[in-house]
Structure 1
Amino acid sequence: MAVNAAERSAMDRALQLARRGPRGVNPQVGAVLLSPDGTVLAEGWHHGAGTPHAEVDALSKLAPGEARGATAVVTLEPCNHTGRTGPCAVALIEAGIARVVYALDDPGAASGGGAERLRAAGVDVEAGEQAAAAHALIDGWLTAQRLGRPQVTVKWAQSLDGRAAAADGSSQWITGPAARADVHRRRAEADAIAVGTGTLLADDPALTARDGGDLLPHQPIPVVIGSRPAPADAAVHRHPHTPLFFDTHDLHAVVADLHARGVQSLFVEGGPTLASAFIEAGLADRVLAYLAPVLLGGDRLALTDIGVASIAEARRLTVEEWVPLGPDLLAIARPAEPHHTPTDEGAA
């Protein structure tokens, strides 16, 4: 049975509802319940970890029996497992839902399979309606599910000769206003932003995302990695979010902790030691290198040791885009092939 106009319209609405939910451990999901004649009976969305899923949220707004024979339009395949809440597939079956239209298959080994369970119970199921839009909505969550950690972007700014700072350590500003505005826009797209304690002590960064002097609506959670303590008056303490401090050099442990907190994307701001450590650990999914037409010389390199001893071990990148930003140039690149660390091999 093809998707009809009322169901397509309901999926549009379900995608809008999904955006109301928070980004986090669980995906953003929206649901709309339709009567057999296409009238909207109820709407719902997932309000966060531990709360009813979108389908159950919508069902809770109806009287017992009112959903019998109805159609559920959902942005993600109804789940098929018991976590903090019960399986949505079972809730739909017990409510008497006759048809389910959903956009994306649930990729979870435990949570997937809801469509099969629904069909086995005699529910008509249609998958794939507006799948691209649904994928774009929860792309960060899907990536984090696949990786088992946040997607990591490593950013640095450098002179044309590969330096991150002048001989005296000063680095403000290597790049111009257009490049700096681009950085702030990309910060605002991330769930968290990380620096090492060296950068925190040297530059006292606020780790906010700004448009000029104004804070942008979304602010990444500040993350500080390293063993040196932050001064009590450090700017990061005035961030809208409480900063997270990790007194460790184990980056795999850091990203695992962030993943458990629901962080889907991590923006590594620096400095060179931390950026190099993420690359060496094979945790850099994307690189943003801002190149300024200036020469600095000296030994303040944008990257330090990344575990490359010979040209055969070079970390090859695929440049996806070159972006002119005033006099500067941004290279957006991804690893040409996944880097396998000893930790990866040991877990295989």
Structure 2
Amino acid sequence: MSDNWMIYGATGYTGRLIAEEAKARGLKPTLAGRNAEKVKAIADELELPWAAFSVDDKHAVEAALQDKALVLSVAGPFSATADQMTDACIATGTHYLDVTGEIAVFELAASKSSNAEKAGVTLLPGVGFDVVPSDCIAAHTAKRASGPTDLTLAIFGLGGASRGTAKTGVESLGTGTSIRRGGQISKTSKPMFRSFEFDGESHEFIGVSWGDVSTAYHSTGIDNIEVYFPNAGPIKSMAKMSKNFGWLMRRKFVQNFLKKKIDEMPAGPTAEQRAKAGTQILAEVTDKDGTIYRSILSCPNGYSLTADSAVTCAEKILATNGKLGFQTPSRAFGVELLKDLKDCSIKDL
């Protein structure tokens, strides 16, 4: 089964990392993407099979997936690819995985759960840094409480962003911050700020629209969820742009301009930068009696973890056929998934 799957979007920064990790494990996935020349170049370098097609070509997608047990999509922004690819997977009986962090994509996959289950298909978005580590630490901490009502996640030490991640961030400019209240996803019009302590130092954080607003609800059943990033660097700049020029940031021509500027950025952090930049994720769960439980997860840089976790999740689904329908990482594999990933450790505070 090591050759009976596909990585779509293999020519991007994250896609290449995942393809290299798969090759290092002795796996032989088909590498795919829209641009035949770019796909062939990386496939020839890694000595792997390849295919080229657009997700917008329904017949081409279904033909490419017809003999595949699983596709791992790394083609973001997933708002432009997930609907087409999940429909094709349901039509062909192919398990779907991706590395999205987009709330709308998780909710889209959840809405297709019944059809996927009938087709014998697993829909498992978010098998990278978005949202494997945060989903697992949320589920772990929730289990410490008898009746959890509120969940807050703070993600510290994000490191540099790839072009794909930066473009996804641009699409959210000017739209407000997504949170969950009373089980429903809503938007806050004003920025949310909180201080969190990491390694004995207090840092200012800002609320963000992160995938866990969707997935943590499905994983834990907690009705009230917020996610925070450090209020620094590009995130601070984007927050200011959204606050002061939100109406302008929502315009398509402005977003297209910003995306073109992003194309001038480095593809992503170097191997040396990734090796030096670890990440910590704090989960704070409030119980129905007001007791607060905190746990912290230490893990590698987000891109290094994504390559590890994405391939690990693909291997697990291929080996077991997975749980059918829409899943989150912790629902599919349990919090124990972290034990199968490099350099991940949990500490209860």
TM range (shorter): under 0.3
Structure 2-normalised TM-score?
0.28
Q: Based on CA coordinates, which of the two structures has the bigger radius of gyration?
A: 1
Higher RCO structure (Cα 8 Å, ≥6 apart): 2
